[in-house]
Amino acid sequence: VKSVYDSEATKTTGLVNRLIAEKANPRADVFWNSETGRTIVLKQKGVLAPYKSPSAVDIPATFKDRDGYWSGFGARCRILIYNTDLINEDNLPKSIFELTEPKWKGKVSLAYPLFGTTATHAAALYANLGEAKARKLKEYGTFYSSLIG
């Protein structure tokens, strides 16, 4: 068995592309990742096989594929970090949803949300905020920050 890991050099997108390319002659038995969007692509392209794990019985339906192709089993935290020289603790947002308010315009940074777990995060924000507020967050935020890898 030769393990292939998702690292900075081989991000999930690359591994997903490899699985798609190897579909006719698969070399992997298990694919573990944290990107729901890419997992859905694998299902759509017929790369995955359904497996309804007995261990996933108690996982809420919201966190698994209805046809049994994948189950979410872990949570990932997102953390707001702020510059104490620029923002007083009393002025911190009480929720990420407050970042759509005008006072935060140009002061919010999020990694470019097309790939990686940030894409899943952006999709979840869009679903929870709705289109209008999600567009405000995009307008007010800086998604191309050179400070975020």
Given a cut of 80, is residue 109 above it in pLDDT? no
CA atoms of 93 and 87, how far apart (whole Å): 10
* Closest-CA residue to 95 (of 139, 68, 128, 46): 128
CB-based contacts of 94, cutoff 8 Å, min separation 6 = none
Q: What number of H helices and E strands is found in the chain?
A: 4, 2
pLDDT tens for each residue of 37-71: 889 999 999 999 999 999 999 999 988 999 999 99
Nearest to 145 by CA among 100, 115, 102, 113: 113
* 111-147 per-position pLDDT tens digit: 777 777 777 788 888 888 888 888 877 777 655 444 4
CB atoms within 10 A of CB 96: 14
Residue 119 · residue 125 · CB < 8 Å:
no
φ, ψ (nearest 5 deg) of residue 39: -65, -40
Q: How far apart are the first and last CA of the chain?
A: 32
Q: How far apart are alpha carbons 67 and 64 in whole angstroms? A: 9
> Confidence band (pLDDT; 50, 70, 90) for 5?
low
pLDDT in tens, 71-106: 988 877 778 888 999 999 999 988 878 887 888 888
Q: Which structural domains are found in the chain, ordered by start?
A: 1-75 (3.40.190.10), 89-142 (no CATH)
Greater confidence, 108 or 27? 27
